[in-house]
Amino acid sequence: IEQFTPIINPPETTILGICATTTNIREVHGQIVSYPAMGLSLTHDHRAYDGAPAARFLRDLVYALENFTLFLAGEKQF
């Protein structure tokens, strides 16, 4: 599954959908390069809390996944 939106089931307030890893391409300095990409979908109930904490969580998760080797080496902490 490359993309989907998870559905909240009460009493859940938030659910994270993790999609399959795919290979995409992009141009970098005039060269076509491939890179792994993974979709993330975060669904949350706005009645439970504001969307700002959910957005920060997703931002931090993306950073951690993109810089995974830094976390293994202990160079970056949240």
Rounded Cα gap, residues 66 and 21, in angstroms: 13
Contacts of 1 (CB under 8 A, 6+ apart): 19, 20
**Residues tagged active-site:** 46, 50
Amino acid at 51: G
